[in-house]
Amino acid sequence: MSKVIDYASALPPLPAPDYLHDGTGLRSWLLTVDHKRIAVLYMISLTFFFMVGGIAALLIRLQLLSPNSTLMEAETYNRMFTTHGVIMVFFFLVPSIPAVIGNFIVPLQVGARDMAFPRINLLSWYLYVIGGLITLYAIISGGVDTGWTFYTPYSSLYANSKVVPTVIGIFISGFSSILTGLNFVVTIHTMRAPGLTWGRLPLMLWSLYATSIIFILGTPVIAITLALVGVERVFHLGIFDPKMGGDPVLFQHLFWFYSHPAVYIMILPSMGVVSDIIACFSRKRIFGYGFVAASSIAIAVLSFLVWGHHMFVAGESVYSAMIFSFLSFFVAIPSAIKVFNWTATLYRGSISFETPMLYALGFIGLFTMGGLTGLMLATLAVDVHVHDTYFIIAHFHYIMVGGAVMGYLGAIHYWWPKITGKMYPDIWGRVSAFIIFIGFNLTFFPQFILGYLGMPRRYYTYPEEFQMLNVFSTAGASILGVGYLMPLVYLLWSLKYGKPAGPNPWGATTLEWKVSSPPPKHNFASIPLVTEEAYDYTKEPTNAA
């Protein structure tokens, strides 16, 4: 056991430079193994991919402005929503919070100097970027038109587009997910600071742990499944080819075995963020901490039991459909538990409304709506009607954009002072949160009605009676676009002009706020000793700055 030098008790200023200034130049970034720098690399690349996906979304909405729009041909439109779905899911939302925020704060919150495997961490960023570039290449050099779901035999035999490079890209980025999950699990298990028992873990870590379980056990299945599609296209294995006696529905089983749990990959981290933010801005311990923590694990496990609810009318057997419907309702319960506990946390709190809190509150409302419409989809007879209509589109955008993206933005705003050491202008944050909320609802609420009226998804042209609602939706999307651009502007602005944040601008209790902002290279000069329960807000705020 080496002797620990306690820099924290040494005289200020700290001798160690913060991680942003410890080495400059491209090399020091591209070859870094510091989890914080890797997080920043992720943040930049994810923002880029979000832009690409968002521009595709805007083009989709523009096309749908009128029923017989000539903006895009059928082929172009099909490539557009595939690009949108693939980029948003695999290259933005799945990695979003884990890779950016998780990479940044997991070691800080467990009280460690880095991840358990820093080099693997860097490798996972490279895998992500390589996968993303290959997919971008596919999109630019001809595009993919299978939808993000790659259903066979269309994708394996009929599609006349760049399916193979796309699946290779997703395959590679899948390993990035796996390695990130692996790193989190090992780090959380073996590197917690002394005294930081499971019962004291911030809820963010619980949900990242749950997310990692899905990364580890689900991602390999999508990898092999998409690999099979690629191999089938190139070598023709016959596995998904009905002419060879193959069963195209098998693909759907394998696809959703990952892709349903994947939707919880997208939402669980946001739930963790919301838990941390709500506790911080109401200065209260999360109500029912144990239940909120356990429900994360419950969601992760149950999420693997329900994938067949995407296939109720796909030709799976009636009995199987009933089993999957039944199980689907159980996964709603832990989500409900979380929502109720967050609400109860506000009770008798001391609530303030800085930007992160606005996102967290917005999350609660929109996630609830998205989740409750999920119940309608899990109900067999209703799903028969709304399957593959805009009702589905509305359901998942409510959860993924209204929920997960809100959570991501909330997290960015919450940890921005820690990551950069600078404060952004809070008023602009509030305004943009408000605009996003309005734009979002205007975009996606009409789609519930459209869907129930029967407008199928993936249509570049549609019957005229659906136009009015589509116009609302497109109008909303423009507002939403503006809302998303604003943070980009004022956050970048704050890098240069923002006020120094100090170690703990929000008066939060988790460990990352106990080091300076931005944190020094190896986080803690000496490994901290944790003696407090989680979210102990009874003490005086600690931000001296």
| Residues from 209 through 238 that contact another protein (CB under 8 A) | 216-221, 223-225, 228, 231-233, 235-238
Kindly state the tokens that stand for 147.
């939808």
Question: Of 274, 316, 279, 318, nearest to 296 (Cα)?
Answer: 274
Q: Is residue 71 a contact point for another protein (CB under 8 A)?
A: no
Part of the chain binding another protein (CB under 8 A), chosen from 47-55, 74-82, 394-402, 489-497 = 74-82
Closest approach of another protein to the CB of residue 431, in Å: 18
For the stretch 493-509, what's the b/e string if a residue is b when 16 or more beta carbons lie within 10 angstroms of its beta carbon? ebeeebeebbbbbbbbb
Task: Rule CB under 6 A: choose which of 38, 106, 182, 331 binds ligand HEA.
Answer: 331
Nearest distance, CB of residue 272 and another protein, angstroms: 17
For residue 149, state whether it binds ligand HEA (rule: CB under 6 A): yes
3-state secondary structure labels for all residues of 249-276: HHHHHHHHHHHHHHHHHHHHHHHHHHHH
The one-letter code for the residue type at 156 is: S
The answer to whether the beta carbons of residues 143 and 161 sit under 8 Å apart is yes
239 binds another protein (CB under 8 A): yes
| Binding residues among 372-391 for ligand HEA as defined by CB under 6 A | 372, 374-375, 377-378, 383, 387
Spatial distance between the Cα atoms of 33 and 35, rounded to a whole number of angstroms = 6
Which of 62, 65, 382, 438 forms a contact with another protein (CB under 8 A)?
382
- Applying CB under 8 A, does 112 fall inside the site for another protein? yes
Task: Choose which of 39, 136, 267, 271 interacts with ligand HEA (CB under 6 A).
Answer: 267
Contact flag: residue 147 with ligand HEA (CB under 6 A): yes
Answer yes or no whether residue 271 interacts with ligand HEA by CB under 6 A: no
Q: Give the one entry of another protein, Cu ion, ligand HEA, none that residue 492 binds, where binding means its C-beta sits below a cut-off of 5 to 8 angstroms depending on kind.
A: none
Residues of the shown chain interacting with Cu ion in the complex, contacts defined by CB under 5 A: 260
CA distances (Å), 524 to each of 8, 9, 249, in order? 8, 11, 52
Q: Which of 62, 375, 435, 471 binds another protein (CB under 8 A)?
A: 375
Cα–Cα distance measured from residue 135 to residue 143, given in angstroms and rounded to the nearest whole number: 9
Q: First and final CA of the chain: distance in angstroms?
A: 35
| Beta carbon of residue 130, minimum distance to ligand HEA (angstroms, whole number) | 21
Neighbours of 412 (CB within 10 A): 24
Stretch that binds ligand HEA, among 97-105, 240-248, 365-373, 408-416 (CB under 6 A): 365-373
Smallest separation (angstroms) from another protein to the CB of 98: 15
Q: Between residue 73 and residue 102, which ones bind ligand HEA under the rule CB under 6 A? A: 81-82, 84-85, 88-89, 92-93
Show the tokens assigned to 523.
């986080």
Residues in region 491-520 near ligand HEA by CB under 6 A: none
Distance CA 154, CA 145 (A): 10
477 makes contact with ligand HEA (CB under 6 A): yes
Q: How far is the CB of 44 from another protein (least distance, A)?
A: 24
Token readout for 225 is 């499944």
DSSP H helices, 31-149, are: 35-63, 74-86, 103-110, 118-140
- Placement of tokens 């521009």 in the chain: 55
Polymer length in residues for the chain: 545
For residue 334, the minimal CB distance to ligand HEA (Å) is 8
Closer Cβ to ligand HEA, 63 or 103, answer by number: 63
Contact 503, 515 (CB under 8 A): yes
Residue 407 touching ligand HEA (CB under 6 A): no
Q: In angstroms, rounded to a whole number, what is the distance separating the alpha carbons of residues 138 and 95?
A: 20
Q: Which of 51, 45, 178, 65 is nearest to 123 (CA)?
A: 178
**Could you tell me the smallest distance in angstroms from the CB atom of residue 267 to Cu ion?**
11
Contact 492, 43 (CB under 8 A): no
Rounded to a whole number of angstroms, the minimum distance from the CB of residue 462 to another protein is 7
Helix axes 406-420, 103-110, angle to 10 degrees: 60
Is 486 near another protein (CB under 8 A)? no
Cross-strand partners of 423: 499
Residue among 185 and 321 whose Cβ is closer to ligand HEA: 321
Q: Which lies closer to ligand HEA via its Cβ, residue 47 or residue 542?
A: 47
When asked if residue 445 is in the footprint of another protein (CB under 8 A), the reply is no
Question: Rule CB under 6 A: is residue 336 a binding residue for ligand HEA?
Answer: yes
Cα 382 to chain centroid distance, Å, stands at 28
User: How many Å apart are CA 397 and CA 426, to the nearest integer?
Assistant: 26
Query: Residue 60 in contact with residue 77, Cβ under 8 Å?
Result: yes
The residues that touch ligand HEA, with contacts defined as CB under 6 A, are: 51, 54-55, 57-58, 60-61, 81-82, 84-85, 88-89, 92-93, 147-149, 263-264, 266-267, 309-310, 328, 331-332, 335-336, 339, 368, 371-372, 374-375, 377-378, 383, 387, 392-393, 395-397, 399-401, 404-405, 443, 457-459, 473, 477, 480-481, 484-485
